[in-house]
Amino acid sequence: MGELLVEKHAKYIITVEKRKDDFESVVMEHLRLNGAYWGLTTLDIMGKLGAVEQDEVISWVMQCQHESGGFGGNIGHDPHLLYTLSAIQVLALFDKLHVLDIDKVSNYIAGLQNEDGSFSGDIWGEVDTRFSYISILSLTLLHRLDKIDVGKAVKYIISCKNVDGGFGCTPGAESHAGQIFCCVAALAITGSLHHVDKDLLGWWLCERQVKSGGLNGRPEKLPDVCCSCDIVISISKSVMSFIDSHVVASQVCYSWWVLSSLIMIDRVHWIDKGKLVQFILDCQDKENGGISDRPDDAVDVFHTYFGVAGLSLLEYPGIKPIDPAYALPVDVVNRVMLGR
Ligand code: GRG
Ligand code: ZN
């Protein structure tokens, strides 16, 4: 089994943060605050946060704040819940939440709750359970959860639960691992996990592991074939195995969405952890650092985060533990929530 190339990944993240003009930086321009969260959290759990110019980052984060109290993805960009959570998480990593006008930020977030308990991502109104999670986590980190109607927020999340035990982005929408993470984490933070059918959801989640050891985000979409004769059965079997290894092939990001959900509902022993560790390690760029979505693809900061964070959830040696619901290192969560 290979090993996690900590030094190379740290160097890769620090270089990406500094670059301004190559492909990845241009693509990331409008969501730089998300990128900062992914990169800095990865550095922190690898014990490398000290390599970053902390004052420079904090000053840039604060310049991304809009007069409404919300944060944009970069300086001068429109505010959105997605970037507001990243700003709060980055400040939490550096123990600098006190630089925020807590009431201003929490009023912005609370103002996005709708009558039915759901949340819009910004003033334009798109509703999604991602935004329920983001609001609940952000306000919890700011100790201002009392600014929203938590009961209604939980009720809305439960209305997005499906018969397969999973959750979608809105009521009736199909179950997807990313959305399940958001709903389960929001229920965990608010002490409402009793609304989850743990065995049913655990079954759906552990079925996401494919032969490579990696995880995918939703069940195979089988083509409509009639299985009334052997030939069709054998064709359909090869189609299934092709789909299994290609179309819905596993991606490193699902190591986070699926694994964190399994941990929160106490069913992580239902997957083969050793095979998943190997899959993540196989996605490393062994020369220049960084982790890709699947072996031999191009690396990016997003998948580098999910790979290293996934290994942290799998208790890989030498990596700090990350909290599966708060998506922050456990020591940071303890400092913010318990003052230690
Ligand atoms: C702090 C960790 C953290 C998250 C913040 C933004 C957010 C809250 C959560 C996003 C959850 C989500 C919906 C993740 C899914 C991302 C993803 C890889 C989507 C791809 O979906 P498809 O349908 O791909 O294009 P598949 O693999 O299902 O075919
Ligand atoms: Zn991915």
Percent of the chain with pLDDT over 90: 81
Q: Which residue's CA is the nearest one to ligand 1's atom 29?
A: 248
Q: What's the CA gap between 188 and 105, in Å, rounded?
A: 23
**64, 74 contact by CB (below 8 A):** yes
**CATH T-level assignment (fold) for domain 6-338:** Glycosyltransferase (1.50.10)
**286, 3 contact by CB (below 8 A):** no
In this predicted structure, the answer to whether residue 339 has a pLDDT above a threshold of 90 is no
Q: What's the CA gap between 143 and 27, in Å, rounded?
A: 34
Percent of the chain with pLDDT over 70: 87
Q: What is the pLDDT of residue 340?
A: 67
In this predicted structure, the answer to whether residue 126 has a pLDDT above a threshold of 80 is yes
**117, 192 contact by CB (below 8 A):** no
Q: Which residue's CA is the nearest one to ligand 1's atom 1?
A: 327
**Tokens matching residue 194:** 């009793």
Q: Which atom of ligand 1 is nearest to the CA of 179?
A: 13
Average pLDDT value for residue range 228-238 = 50
Q: Which atom of ligand 1 is nearest to the CA of 248?
A: 29
**Tokens matching residue 243:** 């789909």
CB 217 less than 6 A from any atom of ligand 1: yes
Q: How close is the Cα of 234 to the center of ligand 1, in Å? A: 33
* pLDDT band of 224, cuts 50, 70, 90: very low
pTM of the full predicted structure? 0.91
Q: What is the pLDDT of residue 234?
A: 52
Residues 6+ apart with CB under 8 A from 94: 49, 54, 57, 58
Instruction: Specify burial of residue 149 (Cβ count, 10 A radius: 0-12, 13-18, 19+).
Output: middle
Q: Best of 130, 131, 175 to mutate for ligand 1, by most ligand atoms within 8 A of CB? A: 130
With vertex at residue 275, the alpha carbon angle to CA 270 and CA 277, rounded to the nearest 5 degrees, is 105
Average pLDDT value for residue range 162-181 = 97
Instruction: Specify burial of residue 179 (Cβ count, 10 A radius: 0-12, 13-18, 19+).
Output: buried
DSSP assignment of 36-63: HHHHHHHHHHTT-GGGS-HHHHHHHHHH
Residues 6+ apart with CB under 8 A from 135: 81, 109, 110, 112, 113, 119, 148, 153
In this predicted structure, the answer to whether residue 286 has a pLDDT above a threshold of 80 is yes
Lowest mean pLDDT among 32-46, 218-232, 235-249, 294-308: 218-232
**38, 89 contact by CB (below 8 A):** no
Q: What's the CA gap between 340 and 332, in Å, rounded?
A: 9
Beta strand pairing status for 291-292 and 299-300? antiparallel
Q: What is the pLDDT of residue 221?
A: 45
Over residues 136-169, the pLDDT tens digits come to 999 999 999 999 999 999 999 999 999 999 999 9
CB 183 less than 6 A from any atom of ligand 1: no
Where in the chain are the domains? Answer: 6-338
Q: What's the CA gap between 149 and 11, in Å, rounded?
A: 43
CB 252 less than 6 A from any atom of ligand 1: no
Average pLDDT value for residue range 95-100 = 97
* Closest C-alpha to 332, from 340, 324, 304: 340
Q: How close is the Cα of 307 to the center of ligand 2, in Å? A: 10
Average pLDDT value for residue range 269-277 = 96
Q: Best of 37, 132, 133, 176 to mutate for ligand 1, by most ligand atoms within 8 A of CB? A: 176
Residues 6+ apart with CB under 8 A from 153: 113, 117, 118, 119, 132, 135, 136, 186, 190
Query: Which one is predicted more confidently, 272 or 224?
Result: 272
Average pLDDT value for residue range 85-112 = 98
Model-level ipTM above the cut of 0.95: no
Q: How close is the Cα of 146 to the center of ligand 1, in Å? A: 28
Q: Which atom of ligand 1 is nearest to the CA of 176?
A: 28
Q: Which residues of 9-43 are buried (b: 16+ CB within 10 A; e: fewer)?
A: bbbbbbebbeeeeeebeeebeebbbbbbbbbbbbb
Q: How close is the Cα of 181 to the center of ligand 1, in Å? A: 9
Q: Best of 34, 71, 119, 181 to mutate for ligand 1, by most ligand atoms within 8 A of CB? A: 181
Q: How close is the Cα of 306 to the center of ligand 2, in Å? A: 8
Q: How close is the Cα of 300 to the center of ligand 2, in Å? A: 10
Over residues 105-114, the pLDDT tens digits come to 999 999 999 9
Query: Which one is predicted more confidently, 289 or 29?
Result: 289
Q: Which residue's CA is the nearest one to ligand 1's atom 13?
A: 178
With vertex at residue 48, the alpha carbon angle to CA 42 and CA 50, rounded to the nearest 5 degrees, is 125
* Closest C-alpha to 154, from 127, 186, 130, 125: 186
